Amino acid sequence: MKPDAAGVFTRARNPNTMLRKTSGIVINYIKYRETSIIVRIFTRDLGLKTYLVNGVRSEKSKTKMAHFQPLTLLELVVYDKENANLNRISEVKLANAFQRIPFDFYRSGISLFMGEILGKVVVDNYQNEVLFDYLFRLILKLDSSEFKPGPFILLFLIRTSRYLGFEPEDAKEFYLQLPVEQTGNTHQEKINYLDQLLDSEGTLLPALPAHLKRMLIDDWILFYKIHIDGFGDIKSLAVLRTLVK
């Protein structure tokens, strides 16, 4: 059975269920029973969906658990049933096999942080093709040989806020919303650097001391907490802070 121009298959046995072809970014998963998992995937065409994958933790499984690690990029054919909270995957393969993220402590730490952030800001059935395409490109950049740490984490937080609709116009607007100390040289340094980030998007920026980067990341986490209900704590933040140089 071949898809139509929109990548849609019809499943004859159940007229309320469609087979859909789409791309996906794994957000996270939890173990289910002895050999299965429940995985949340941000898909380009269907938004954030939750799938039950049976037997994938079994040694006999043809599908590997590596397919469902956070931020893995996938090509999928999925069953899509209207109003279903849990669906199934018909076919899955890697869209791009990672060459560096799983084997580089720094990149894997960043990917863990990114996955945790996305798990809090992308809600069920939320669809945003522009956000998806941006994240897809960003993850490929994180895995590429041209990846440079620099302001990567801060730019991720800034640009993601843009696609979610609450990016500040400038550093002044940003800090007007935060209950943090806003006097002294350190605060002025943060304002100057953040304005450059917002204006230049990371190109040709001067170096920023690691302690100021960490402070800015903390400020952006607080900014997300203000704008996202139930955002909560970021468990991977402690690890991320040790990686920031």
Q: Where does 8-94 sit in CATH, by number?
A: 2.40.50.140
- Residue 13: pLDDT band with limits 50, 70, 90: low
75-106 pLDDT per residue, tens: 999 999 877 889 999 999 999 999 999 999 99
- Residue 208: pLDDT band with limits 50, 70, 90: confident
Nearest to 139 by CA among 22, 21, 26: 26
State mean pLDDT over 28-42.
Answer: 94
137-167 pLDDT per residue, tens: 999 999 999 888 888 999 999 999 999 999 9
Long-range Cβ contact pairs of 232-240 (< 8 A, separation 24 or more): 232/120, 234/113, 234/116, 234/117, 235/116, 236/109, 236/112, 236/113, 236/116, 237/113, 239/109, 239/112, 239/113, 240/109, 240/110, 240/112, 240/113, 240/153
Nearest to 83 by CA among 49, 122, 53: 49
* Domain boundaries, given as residue ranges, for the chain: 8-94, 101-243
165-180 pLDDT per residue, tens: 999 999 999 999 999 9
- The predicted pLDDT at position 10 comes to 47
- The predicted pLDDT at position 120 comes to 95
- Residue 201: pLDDT band with limits 50, 70, 90: low
- Residue 245: pLDDT band with limits 50, 70, 90: confident
Top pLDDT among 138 and 241 is at: 138
Please state whether the predicted TM-score (pTM) of the whole model is above 0.85. yes
Regarding the domain delimited by 101-243, which CATH topology (the fold level of the hierarchy) does it fall under?
de novo design (two linked rop proteins) (1.20.1440)
